[in-house]
Structure 1
């Protein structure tokens, strides 16, 4: 069942798009991709519609290399005259709040926001609502959004938990035979809570002993590494597996376990180049592949429609918000070859010592 939306909260009398012309969002003048408060007019040209794309950080490679260019591409397809104003908060919630406020002050036609911390931007979002500016929750949900697109994050957690179980099975290890540790995501990220809940549900359902759990501040791999190092020093029993919420934290986990000469099953998420290389090297069992272009397309089309006061045809609802979810899947050594060519290039993965491992896995 599709869910049509004409936002009664924010679009009651928007009607035609506000003519913005060559809008440049004012800011603090940092460089693009480095916590930039200076807007990047990615789509170029003047148009009747201006959409602000506000992403949370640039440590995770997807935002600059996949989300931004794909969003700009699909906005142009939906409305060739539309203009995208882009900013990245570089994991700074205060800076992102200022970016939202700047977009509202300048009167953009729609805001697409992936929040660093949803609570930190709530007052700025209230100003957007007061000005009847539609707001789209991109990747991370927040209350008051007119539309939401992401992946089913609890289901992703289920997939991650199952990957831990599958990795133990492939290694010939009984999942009930020893402790499993969890290295979760940033506690300020609502998605991280869903990943954790889904993984815990699957692991506990299989009788796994979750002996230790850690929330990784700002998704920082060093924080993950330091926690695992500390745990390994004091642990009476070494873990048989360590759930890691994404490939970045998995990298920190792997660094710590290699140093201690222990080899638990390690999983991740996002199918980043480093994560895929770790899988090929045997240091990481699995990751979760999430195709970004469909998500960017959902957001772009919704932003253009809402900016024009038109309906959004959504596939479902999440917390009473019209929503489109994109499917995700588990990737192991045997299936890396199946995802090459969409948003991942073999030449990026198959470098140095990994080149032969790619050939063995059929990655080309």
Structure 2
């Protein structure tokens, strides 16, 4: 697969403008607004809910509220693939059979989607790649700067290691090879870590599955020994939790472990010191942008006010919006995920972590 070349954009001003334009029904003058019925239905296909809780807790409701707020006659036809590519293909085909003309797709396996996108185009349907860049000539792509995410993960490990970094063996438990984002995270982490640590002593894919991450971490412990691991990069929070438990079971302490997604359990682990950092991707602007683009497409409107950057992939230039991720450490919980409105302190600070919250100034 050709590695995508991207131009990042924070997109806050553009998104606010686009929301206003969409609400007013402004079009580019070249297309006819869609008719009622199936054309007013927007498909939403999300990949899983086991390894990351974000999709059901944040993405789905935020996209739904954006779509219905901008287009009261629009409805969302939603399905979650539970990590199964064949299931998602059936869901995609079902949307096309229903006559759905715009599909927001977060693919289980982005490498397999080019024929899907072609089949959609043959039926006059447009596909928006959400969070993961689907292969094929998609109409738009909304995500975060995934290479930058990996760089932030790697740098956060270096910061945690401090002067010990130069002598550190690092274990890397990467995401699924079928997910192009995972490759970008991995590449970004290597850019930060390579040459700054002693070596990447063990590196395997955890497939975004906690149970696989556990198995791979146990292999690393067996291979390197209890004293041979100084830090662990885990590509997301679900796998980080498994890594932490594997280290505990082996009696290994004081090893920095980082993740990604700012899941509430991970933020609690960051507060208690079990997890060193997570990566916060403000889901609201990502979901709002995707919902706005979907409405614009279903109404025959210009999407360039939101998708103002370009991602090049496989010779295709894709209108895109790429947002900027944020590192969350114990000292930054209040100003990031609480201050940013992801979680309320009352929900985050359960009795088990109340003291840790107080010490970190979370309120």
TM range (shorter): 0.7 to 0.9
Pairwise CA distance, 1:77: 2.1
**Which residues of 2 match residues 1-364 of structure 1 at below 5 A?**
15-20=32-37, 49-59=40-50, 60-143=52-135, 144-169=137-162, 173-217=163-207, 219-236=208-225, 237-263=227-253, 264-313=255-304, 314-319=307-312, 320-338=317-335, 339-340=337-338, 342-364=341-363
Higher RCO structure (Cα 8 Å, ≥6 apart): 2
Q: Following TM superposition, where does structure 1 have runs of at least 4 consecutive aligned residues deviating by more than 4 angstroms?
A: none
Is the contact made by 2:170 and 2:201 (CA closer than 8 Å) also made in structure 1?
yes
Pairwise CA distance, 1:208: 4.1
TM-score, normalising length from structure 2?
Answer: 0.86
- Structure 2 runs not aligned, ≥5 long: 1-8, 15-29
The separation in 1 between residues aligned to 2:224 and 2:71, in whole angstroms, is 58
Pairwise CA distance, 1:124: 2.7
The separation in 2 between residues aligned to 1:177 and 1:130, in whole angstroms, is 56
Who is 2:24 aligned against? Answer: none
The separation in 2 between residues aligned to 1:207 and 1:333, in whole angstroms, is 23
The separation in 2 between residues aligned to 1:233 and 1:89, in whole angstroms, is 34
- Structure 1 runs not aligned, ≥5 long: 4-12, 24-47
| Residues 98-149 of structure 1, C-alpha deviations (whole Å, 9 max, x = no match) | 1111111111120000000123343332210111211100000023111000
Who is 1:6 aligned against? Answer: none
TM-score, normalising length from structure 1?
Answer: 0.85
| Residues 154-197 of structure 1, C-alpha deviations (whole Å, 9 max, x = no match) | 0000000100000111xxx4211131110111111111110000
Who is 1:42 aligned against? Answer: none
CA RMSD between the two structures: 2.1
Pairwise CA distance, 1:85: 0.8
The separation in 2 between residues aligned to 1:243 and 1:119, in whole angstroms, is 24
